[in-house]
Homo-oligomer: A and B are copies of this chain.
């Protein structure tokens, strides 16, 4: 099968290496015909081009893998490729989460695959396994550690007792965190991944902006001390659940929030830049998938898995998705440390020192409302699991 790569950066260069190595019968059956680059000097490869039209107008190219990142032109290229009758694979979580309904509709209208294993959980076969469970029974919920940068910082805060700012600077120096770390540390990266996981797990789309996200920007040593004293560790968790309201209607309970979990639990042992994703269903129970959530070859491995699925015609076509409201009835327990207690008074169940308090039995929707009203840039919020 002749294919084209859009982008030859971290992920794209990994895909090129795996396919060109021809290690398995399946990778040997894939042939890269064109590689779209921004600049002729980017790579020394006779297959490079800077003109997307050479790809979209080439009838021999059956599949396009988009690994450019960013919203545009990635979104326009993916849409044009689907409309030209090509299968599309993307590792671009931000673009996919932002435009999923439109792109899924384009894929369905043209009877082509839109596959996105690499977009969530890097190399971990999360999307494929969610799909396998969902084809047999209803998935009830998913949750996990979906961001390597924050997990790296939190792991080292726990093990070395260093503070957030110092470790963020170190992570930036080592290339584990971006110069502008907002997407990672404020939970937006995980928000995209929750959006995509909900599509596959529940066949339901919630736009990223609707998903509450609290990051670790404001985490302090006093929060880590609270954890240590109580046998807990802090992890940034993204989660989603299909829930029933009291009136029988369905809703999605979904959010991104630092969470305090028992120090001897498996999730507590997910260290440094690993990711762990769990789904829960009635028959299977809890199944967890752990691996490298980022990196060139692991993520490229996931892109190539999608290619093999498409080639073997195993990949299910995108289905029409439904939308559901974010739940106001699913209740959670939070640890909150605001700048001033007064703005959060209504939530306080019990104070726990260092200006922090426990808020028991409130929904993400209600939390979101109060946090927005309080407008406190220094608040630190964690769920207690």
Which of A's residues lie within 8 Å of B, judged by CB?
A: 14, 18, 23-27, 123-125, 128-129, 132, 134-138, 159, 264-271, 274, 276, 281-292, 295, 297-298, 300-301, 304-305, 308, 314
Q: Which B residues lie within 8 Å of A297 (CB)?
A: 282-285
Residue from A159, A283, A288 with most neighbouring chain B CB atoms (10 Å): A283
A136 touches B304 (CB 8 A): yes
Q: Is the CB of A300 within 8 A of B288?
A: no
| Chain B residues within an 8 Å CB radius of A124 | 287
Instruction: Name the contact of A266 in the complex, choosing from B18, B125, B159, B269 (C-beta under 8 A).
Output: B269
Report the separation of the CA atoms of residues A135 and B289 in the bound assembly, to the nearest whole angstrom: 19
When the two chains form their complex, are residues B291 and A290 in contact, meaning their CB atoms are under 8 A apart?
Answer: no
Contacts of A292 in B (CB 8 A): 284-287
Cβ contacts under 8 Å, A18 to chain B: 136-137, 283
Please name all residues of chain B whose beta carbon is closer than 8 Å to the beta carbon of A300 when the two chains form the complex: 283
- Residue pair B288, A284 in contact (C-beta under 8 Å): no
Residues of B within 8 Å of A281, CB to CB, are 301
Least distance between A144 CB and chain B CB atoms (Å): 12
User: How far is it, in angstroms, between the C-alpha of A267 and the C-alpha of B282 when the chains are bound?
Assistant: 25
Contact assessment for B301 and A284 in the assembled complex, using a CB-CB cutoff below 8 Å? yes
Check B137–A301 contact: CB distance below 8 A.
yes
Which of B135, B137, B283, B291 is A286 in contact with, Cβ under 8 Å?
A: B291
**Most chain B CB neighbours (cut-off 10 Å) among A18, A269, A284, A291:** A284
- State the CA gap A312–B23 with chains docked (Å): 27
Question: Which B residue sits closest to A135, measured CB to CB?
Answer: B26
Q: Measured between C-beta atoms, what is the minimum distance from A246 to chain B in Å?
A: 24
Write out the residue numbers on chain B whose beta carbons fall within 8 Å of the beta carbon of A305.
132, 136
| Contact of A128 with B132 at beta-carbon distance under 8 Å, contacts A283-B300, A285-B291, A297-B284 already known | yes
A304 to chain B, nearest CB (A): 6
Query: Smallest Cβ distance from A18 to chain B, in angstroms?
Result: 6
Distance from A324 Cβ to chain B, minimum over Cβ atoms (Å)? 19
A135 vs B271: C-alpha distance in the bound complex, in angstroms? Answer: 29
8 A-B pairs closest in CB distance: A266-B269, A288-B290, A287-B291, A269-B269, A283-B297, A283-B301, A284-B301, A285-B292
Q: Please report the C-alpha to C-alpha distance between residue A300 and residue B159 in the assembled complex, in whole angstroms.
A: 40
Nearest B residue (CB) for A302: B284
Q: Are A137 and B285 in contact (CB under 8 A)?
A: no
Pairwise interchain contact A123-B284, C-beta atoms closer than 8 A = yes
Query: Are A289 and B286 closer than 8 Å at their CB atoms?
Result: no
17 interchain pairs, CB-CB under 8 A: A14-B283, A24-B135, A24-B136, A123-B283, A136-B305, A137-B301, A265-B271, A266-B266, A268-B269, A284-B291, A284-B297, A285-B292, A285-B295, A286-B291, A288-B288, A288-B291, A314-B314
In the complex, the answer to whether B24 meets A137 with C-beta atoms within 8 Å is yes
| Neighbour of A288 across the interface among B271, B285, B289, B295, CB < 8 A | B289
A24, A124, A136, A282 interface centre (most CB from chain B within 10 Å):
A136
> Which residues of the other chain, B, contact A301 by a CB distance below 8 angstroms?
136-137, 281, 283-284
Chain B positions within 8 Å of A285 at CB level: 123, 291-292, 295, 297-298
